[in-house]
Amino acid sequence: MDRFRSLVLCAALAVGSAAAVFPAGKGDADKGKEVFQPCAVCHFPDSEDKKMGPGLKGLFKRDKMANGKKLTEGNVRNQIDEGGKGMPSYKDMLTDGEKDDLIAYLKTL
């Protein structure tokens, strides 16, 4: 059921977004900036100050995440997929390509 749901969601996203034509795998920071728009409700991209969640300026220069885990690309991806402590889960809301773009953008902050 879950698998079916995410397949349907992926198909809907692929049809709905011209960006899906872009091959997945390599992140594009410019596109990631747009993907980040809903995240900006809770995160400042240009400050370390807390909004709802931690400010993300300089995120990839940090050693640790707010949840105490080591700051690695995998753990940041995990945070985006799973959310937690007030952050929604984006696992089924973003395509893998959009997540790649988002990570590429977060690395520029």
Burial class of residue 16, CB neighbours in 10 A (0-12, 13-18, 19+): exposed
Name the region of 44 (left: φ>0; alpha: ψ -120 to 50; beta: rest): beta
Tell me how many degrees the CA angle 88-3-77 measures, rounded to the nearest 5: 40
Q: Which two tokens stand for residue 69?
A: 């885990």
Does 42 sit near ligand HEC (CB under 6 A)? yes
Per-residue binder mask for ligand HEC (CB under 6 A), 2-41, x = binder: ------------------------------------xx-x
User: Of the listed pieces 2-10, 13-21, 23-31, 54-62, which binds ligand HEC according to CB under 6 A?
Assistant: 54-62
- Residue whose CB is less far from ligand HEC, 4 or 12: 12
Among 67, 72, 89, 108, binds ligand HEC (CB under 6 A): 67
